[in-house]
Structure 1
Amino acid sequence: MRALVMGTPGRIAVQAALLTAVIGGSVIYASAHKDVTLTVDGRVTHVRSMSGTVGDFLRDQDIRVGARDIVAPAQNTPLGDGGTVVVRYARPLTLTVDGKKQTFWTTDLNVDSALNSLGVRALGAQMSASRSQPIGRGGLTMWVSTPKKVKLVVGGKKQWLTTTAPNVSALLTQKAVVVNPLDKLSAVPSAPLVEGQTVSLTRIERKRVTRAETVAFPVVKKKNNKLYTDQTKILKKGKAGKRTATYIVVTANGKVDKKTLVTAKVLKKPVTQVMQVGTKSRPFSGGSVGGDVDSLNWKALAKCESGGNPKAVNPAGYYGLYQFSLSTWRSVGGSGNPVDAGSDEQTYRAKLLYKKAGSGQWGCGAHLYD
């Protein structure tokens, strides 16, 4: 049996059909592809894709995004030819503003944009990073110190100033203040500065000082009942001694804060002074105050108040026959302590008190009328 051989016209028809199918398939393939501009964190690439939606496109490009990231347009948006897909990854920004630390998530790509988005007023501020510094996917940690008015006291000298120094240490460096080993600072160097704060630096110095000194002479007192209480008699005159003394002197802002004796060498010993002091009360010349006061029963009052003892002392602070307080005694002209005065003077002062304030001054005042 002979094989069927297709003639020339038949072959042409078949080839034409096959070519039409191939051309048709090529047209369909070409129309499914789209030219897409992809921008990821500012980096632009051009991609040819057959994805139907933005989400499909990202998955095809192996780009994974999270809830904090930005995708524009939205992932369910159909992908068109000539379209643009923008992806911004969120990154942590740990920001300390005037000592207050917070961590934010931002899709901004540099410091300036991030601060503007967060509403951080950094005009005139000092920052640990420049405004143009990029913020990478790993994030950034930085501080911002805004201008603030503070008072700086160094060695007692005060000045108000406006500074953007972030902490006490930076302020001292900014003002070229050197802290010596013994100096005392009112705040730890790392403490952040706040508006209106006072930073004090007390200058401490420690010196060894040797000086010549006078040594006071001791005094020995001996009682003499032939002398009145306001009299004394020198039996042997005292003489001051001399010594050299070495001290450790600590000053704060130039004023002595502490002085400690280290050594002392006596060059001349002092001579003790011996003196007599009187124990005898002077006779009292007064007594009568006139009127009916003198006729009151002062003995009865004294017996009730002190048992009639002119030397009586009450631990609560009352003294003598009529139990005067020291302030009341002085208010009627008395000096010293009532117990050192005679009975006549105590009675006289009591009469003056009666004329001044009545019998209510004493708990036993009613006995004046016995």
Structure 2
Amino acid sequence: MSALLHIRKSTSKAARVATGAALLTVMAGGVVGITSHKDITLAVDGKVQQISTMAFSVDRVLREQGYRPSDADEVLPGLTEDVKAGQTIVYNRHKTLTLNIDGKTSTVETTATNVREILDENGYEDALAHPQNFGADSVPLTGGLVQVTLPKKVRVTDGTNTFRTNVAARTVADVLKGTGKPLTGLDKVKPAPNTPIRPGMRIVVTRIRTEESTVTEKFSATPVTKEDPTLVKDRKVVEDEGKPGTSKVTYRLTIVNGTVTEREKLGSTVVTEPVPATVRIGTKDGAPYVAAGSVWDQLAQCEATGNWAINTGNGFYGGVQFDQNTWERWGGLEYAPRADLATREEQIAIASKTQAAQGWGAWPSCSSKLGLN
């Protein structure tokens, strides 16, 4: 039988008074317990949690949570301070870590909870503007390594665009990522991507792309040739020009810094078939060979600076300056439409006919200079 049940069954006045006192004591104790229970905020090394406690001091709260603050730790408010409902307790533990600034290391004692605070404590405000310095922002209690890269000015030539930038980057690849233009695909960079950055460095990026392009192109069929005994040997006359066909041609293009540098044909599909041209080719013997240094070469040197293909637009053509009438009258059309379109030997052949009919007087000035009259 319980004590409470036993007290309730007592009938004496004294017992009833005792029972009342016992109940009053129990109830009063219950009220004290309820009023001592507090909800507070606890922030440990930057990590915040809501807890409930009956502890009356900051030290007691921390001990309830399994922490044993040392003199090197930071506790706000102090360990002996009273705890009130709704209060925030900040507990930042002491940490020993290695600080690496551009490869130079030092040991740091701190209660900072993140890398930003560590940089601020150690005077590296410039590095705070560069989020790539932070990485995982929390700081371990022991063995931590904080690597800081200070901003450096570099010159970047990216394709056809050159600019300067001040960036906290460890390597060339990091610089390009930091500027929003990382290497992709076939891109190349000098120095190599893993090269450490130094102030004043020049970085040259070559952007390389490949793509396929399909275009419509014209193409011709192999001409149909016919021998013509009325034409001088190897002379060609187009009898029918024919008609080109069309095809869809696919190329692989290599584009370097925006300029196409290679064009590889991958394949083609005929759209319309071509009509071949018809060409007559002469078989008749042409003008006889004339050795260099002949009188005709001397005359051509005087008349046309030795240029047998000259056409200045003054109405005279070729090495010995035929006018069109003379060229046609003495059979020049057998060789070419104009003298400047004929070979040296062919021009000499027509010049010989002209000289036989008109004498050297057909070229009065130069023949006189050469003493041919």
* TM-score tier (shorter): 0.3 to 0.5
User: Could you tell me the TM-score, scaled by structure 1's length?
Assistant: 0.39
Q: TM-score, normalised by structure 2?
A: 0.39
